[in-house]
């Protein structure tokens, strides 16, 4: 499976007959089981791009394709994990995970079994009957990962999922995500504005300019895993990425 983002442009209409161009002719492809990180400055259009890929927003022009076939609207092949915690506070952890499955027509008892499997995968077996407010931020994000995986998507779209977490928790969730990725063989597009996070996680970085976002660099990361973020190799690659991002064509307007 190849996911292609082809010539995506997005203009938002704003009051006064004006428009804001958020994305300009974005093109890149993502291979099966690849981990791609989309890196860009705050406000450049990263969330808008993920929403368009997920079919939650229409592009002004361009297309999203899987194996060359244009997909329009929401696709069961994709699951999105949002920037802000998006759990239902009145549902238990388990029922947050089963919700999408039941809406999709799965019987309650089967949905509970599936939820159990994925809550186990993210290490939350013992918290299935708790409510979101009883969990830490890191645990809540684990629930959103379990919920996204439960619908068995091929492609996981993650929008700065760990941005609000403290550094230690964030690092731990990054490690756990890589373990899950290796076990479940998903294709992942992970949005971040942290170079460190992108270099730690990804096979390839797609670097966007400030708004309107354009692709200014595509950088393969050849570091072997597990990556040691305190090592010299990591520091060297991180430096390279920072130098590439500092080029005039990538820098802020």
Residues that bind ligand ATP (CB under 6 A): 12, 14, 20, 22, 40, 42-48, 83, 193, 211
From the list ligand ATP, Mg ion, none, partner contacted by residue 14 (C-beta under 5 to 8 A by kind): ligand ATP
Beta carbon of residue 47, minimum distance to Mg ion (angstroms, whole number): 3
E strands along 144-227, which residues?
A: 155-159, 187-192, 204-208, 215-220
Beta carbon of residue 1, minimum distance to Mg ion (angstroms, whole number): 26
From the list ligand ATP, Mg ion, none, partner contacted by residue 48 (C-beta under 5 to 8 A by kind): ligand ATP
Q: Please, which residue, 14 or 252, has the CB nearer to ligand ATP? A: 14
Q: Is 208 helix (H, G, I), strand (E, B) or coil?
A: strand
From the list ligand ATP, Mg ion, none, partner contacted by residue 12 (C-beta under 5 to 8 A by kind): ligand ATP
* Cβ atoms of residues 205 and 198 within 8 Å: yes
From the list ligand ATP, Mg ion, none, partner contacted by residue 211 (C-beta under 5 to 8 A by kind): ligand ATP
- Angle separating helix axes 108-121 and 93-103, nearest 10 degrees: 130
> What value, to the nearest 5°, has the Cα angle with vertex 61 and ends 12 and 207?
80
Does 47 interact with Mg ion (rule: CB under 5 A)?
A: yes
DSSP per-residue codes, 210-246 = SSSB-EEEEEE----SS--TTSHHHHHHHHHHHHHHT
Instruction: Record the tokens describing residue 56, joined without a space.
Output: 């939650």
Q: Please, which residue, 46 or 94, has the CB nearer to Mg ion? A: 46
Place of tokens 């019987």: 107
Q: How far apart are CA 4 and CA 81, in angstroms?
A: 20
Phi/psi of residue 78, nearest 5 degrees: -120, 145
Q: Please, which residue, 29 or 194, has the CB nearer to ligand ATP? A: 194
Does 37 interact with Mg ion (rule: CB under 5 A)?
A: no
Beta carbon of residue 53, minimum distance to ligand ATP (angstroms, whole number): 12
From the list Mg ion, ligand ATP, none, partner contacted by residue 85 (C-beta under 5 to 8 A by kind): none
Contacts with Mg ion by CB under 5 A lie at 46-47
């Amino acid at each position: 499976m190849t996911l292609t983002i082809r010539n995506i442009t997005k203009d938002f209409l704003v009051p006064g007959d004006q428009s804001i161009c958020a994305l300009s002719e974005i093109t890149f492809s993502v291979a099966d089981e690849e981990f791609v990180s989309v890196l860009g400055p705050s406000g450049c259009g990263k969330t808008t791009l993920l929403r368009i890929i997920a079919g939650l927003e229409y592009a002004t022009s361009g297309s999203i394709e899987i194996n060359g076939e244009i997909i329009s609207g929401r696709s069961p092949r994709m699951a999105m994990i949002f920037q802000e915690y998006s759990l239902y506070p009145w549902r238990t952890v388990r029922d947050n995970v089963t919700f999408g499955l039941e809406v999709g027509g799965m019987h309650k008892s089967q949905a509970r079994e599936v939820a159990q499997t994925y809550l186990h995968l993210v290490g939350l077996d013992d918290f299935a009957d708790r409510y979101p407010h009883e969990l830490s931020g890191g645990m809540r994000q684990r629930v959103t990962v379990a919920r996204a995986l439960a619908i068995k998507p091929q492609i996981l779209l993650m929008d700065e999922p760990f941005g609000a977490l403290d550094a230690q928790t964030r690092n731990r969730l990054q490690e756990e995500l890589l373990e899950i990725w290796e076990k479940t063989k998903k294709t992942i597009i992970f949005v971040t504005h942290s170079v460190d996070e992108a270099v730690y996680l990804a096979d390839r970085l797609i670097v966007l300019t400030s708004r309107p976002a354009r692709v200014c660099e595509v950088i393969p990361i050849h570091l072997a895993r597990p990556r040691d973020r305190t090592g010299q190799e990591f520091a060297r690659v991180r430096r390279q990425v920072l130098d590439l991002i500092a080029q005039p064509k990538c820098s802020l307007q």
